[in-house]
């Protein structure tokens, strides 16, 4: 009788421990975000001002857009290291289309511009992103080359193509309609920045797709067990190809919005974005091993990194130290993910 009570007590404690771990695995990013905001608010009173918070949201909107696409990729157990370079190439192509060629790309005025309009620039940037994602997805699915190798090569190839197209220099001097997408606020003049609206709009759309559509369930199925998904009749290669096209779309859109926001398109744009994007997804609770995660977590992860970066800047912390901190957070997030999985299997 005593032994039975002891066993029951041990089982109860184990269940409570697993329950606590499950709660932390689901809500840790949100808890950490609010704790971080509270700490920075105490240290720097200006942190919680509306203008600063909107600035944080605008800063994370570009990487946040790409992180939405990266969520689809990582949910399938894949990775894309080329997103920063693809963003730069897409932004440069969009800028060239907006300027009507490369002859007057260094002009700081719009009077000489004979470009093809903002809509054409957006479509060109997105098309390049989709094409880049399609090429890489095809190499991964048809040729069987690991995603890490393909996208690592893409990181170099897309950056080289950007430098070749621009001659190494920036493109600037856009018309107001072009820069509106990156600098305007709705409502004017003190409303929500347009890039933030774009980011949140696509986040809601992606959340609906992943949670409420058949395609979303297929993405989770492929990430959870590709072989089981194949045996159940799913076209695994087609689904894998599609997620790289999706992240390419968001890289292209992000490239356009970034050049619009900065008023210039640069060959070095997006350098290091792959680290920030992957960190946003992983910190938001998406497992690097596939099958678990959601877009809402990615939004939280993006905001967490934005808040962390903004707070460290307000505290005059070196940007080099910021990179160290973000790198450590990625390792801790993955380590916590493995820990949770091991506890669930007990």
* pLDDT at residue 291 is higher than 90: no
Three-class SS string for 52-92? HHHHHHHHHHHHHHHHHHHHHHHHCCCCCCCHHHHHHHHHH
* pLDDT at residue 338 is higher than 80: no
Going by C-alpha positions, the residue among 133, 168, 139, 126 that lies closest to residue 253 is 126
pLDDT reported for residue 105: 54
pLDDT reported for residue 331: 78
Q: At what angle do helices 214-224 and 194-212 cross, to 10 degrees?
A: 80
* pLDDT at residue 185 is higher than 80: yes
Peptide bond into 187 cis (omega under 30): yes
Residues whose CB is less than 8 angstroms from the CB of residue 328 and which lie 6 or more positions away in sequence, other chains included: none
Name the residue with tokens 């800028």.
Answer: 95
Residue 167 lies in a domain: yes
pLDDT reported for residue 315: 83
C-alpha distances out from residue 26 to 17, 308, 329, 331, Å:
14, 20, 17, 18
Which residue did the predictor score with more confidence, 6 or 201? Answer: 201
Residue 18 lies in a domain: no
Residue 301 lies in a domain: yes
Total tally of structural domains belonging to the chain = 1
Is 111 strand, coil or helix? Answer: coil
Peptide bond into 189 cis (omega under 30): yes
Is 202 strand, coil or helix? Answer: helix
Grade residue 111 by pLDDT with cuts at 50, 70 and 90: very low
* pLDDT at residue 108 is higher than 70: no
Instruction: Identify any residues that bridge with 186 across adjacent strands, giving them in sequence order.
Output: 192
pLDDT reported for residue 287: 87
Which residue did the predictor score with more confidence, 60 or 337? Answer: 60
Give pLDDT tens digits for 153-166: 999 999 999 999 98
Residue 343 lies in a domain: no
Compute the distance between CA of residue 200 and CA of residue 324 in angstroms, rounded to an integer. Answer: 28
Question: 205: part of which helix (H) or strand (E)?
Answer: helix 194-212
The percentage of the chain sitting over the pLDDT mark of 90, rounded to a whole number, equals 56
C-alpha distances out from residue 264 to 82, 170, 258, 260, Å:
21, 7, 8, 7
pLDDT reported for residue 203: 97
- Compute the C-alpha angle 265/262/304, nearest 5°: 115
pLDDT reported for residue 138: 96
Residue 89 lies in a domain: yes
pLDDT reported for residue 346: 54
Which residue did the predictor score with more confidence, 31 or 333? Answer: 31
Residue 20 lies in a domain: no
Name the residue with tokens 């450590």.
Answer: 328
Residues whose CB is less than 8 angstroms from the CB of residue 251 and which lie 6 or more positions away in sequence, other chains included: 66, 69, 83, 86, 87, 90, 129, 132, 133
Give pLDDT tens digits for 2-55: 555 555 444 554 455 456 666 666 777 788 888 889 988 898 888 888 888 999
Q: What is the largest CA-CA distance in the chain?
A: 91
Q: Are 244 and 219 in contact (CB under 8 A)?
A: no
Grade residue 101 by pLDDT with cuts at 50, 70 and 90: confident
Give pLDDT tens digits for 202-258: 999 999 999 999 999 999 999 999 999 999 999 999 999 999 999 999 999 999 999
Residue 17 lies in a domain: no
How much is the CA Rg of the chain, to the nearest whole Å?
Answer: 22
Which residue did the predictor score with more confidence, 289 or 242? Answer: 242
Residue 113 lies in a domain: yes
Name the residue with tokens 């800063």.
Answer: 59
* pLDDT at residue 95 is higher than 90: yes
List the domain range (segments joined by +) for residue 156: 27-336
Question: 344: part of which helix (H) or strand (E)?
Answer: helix 319-344
* pLDDT at residue 278 is higher than 60: yes
Q: Of 107-121, 155-169, 245-259, 297-311, which one has max mean pLDDT?
A: 245-259
- Please, what is the average pLDDT of the chain? 86
């Amino acid at each position: 009788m005593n032994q039975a009570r002891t066993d029951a007590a041990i089982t109860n404690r184990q269940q409570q421990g697993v329950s606590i771990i499950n709660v932390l695995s689901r809500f840790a990013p949100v808890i950490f975000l609010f704790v971080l905001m509270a700490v920075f608010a105490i240290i720097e009173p200006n942190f919680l001002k509306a203008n600063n918070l909107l600035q944080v949201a605008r800063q994370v909107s570009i990487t946040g857009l790409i992180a939405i696409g990266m969520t689809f990729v990582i949910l399938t157990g894949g990775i894309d290291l080329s997103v920063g370079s693809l963003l730069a190439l897409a932004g440069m192509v969009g800028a060239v289309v907006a300027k009507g060629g490369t002859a007057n790309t260094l002009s700081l005025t719009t009077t000489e511009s004979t470009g093809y309009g903002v809509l054409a620039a957006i479509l060109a940037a997105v098309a390049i992103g989709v094409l880049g994602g399609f090429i890489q997805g095809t190499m991964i699915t048809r040729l069987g080359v690991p995603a890490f190798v393909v996208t690592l090569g893409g990181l170099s190839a897309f950056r080289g193509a950007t430098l070749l197209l621009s001659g190494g220099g920036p493109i600037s001097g856009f018309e107001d309609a072009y820069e509106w997408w990156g600098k305007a606020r709705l409502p004017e003049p003190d409303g929500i920045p347009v890039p933030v609206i774009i980011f949140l709009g696509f986040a809601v759309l992606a959340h609906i797709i992943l949670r409420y559509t058949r395609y979303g369930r297929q993405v989770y199925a492929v990430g959870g067990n590709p072989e089981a998904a194949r045996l159940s009749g799913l076209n695994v290669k087609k689904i894998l190809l599609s997620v790289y096209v999706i992240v390419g779309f968001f890289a292209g859109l992000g490239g356009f919005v970034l050049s619009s926001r900065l008023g210039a398109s640069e060959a070095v744009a997006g350098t290091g974005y792959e680290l920030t994007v992957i960190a946003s997804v992983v910190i938001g609770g998406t497992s690097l091993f596939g099958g678990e995660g959601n877009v809402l977590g990615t939004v939280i992860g993006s905001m967490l990194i934005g808040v962390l970066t903004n707070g460290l800047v307000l505290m005059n912390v070196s940007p080099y130290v910021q990179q160290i901190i973000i790198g450590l957070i990625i390792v801790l997030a993955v380590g916590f993910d493995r820990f949770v999985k091991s506890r669930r299997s007990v």
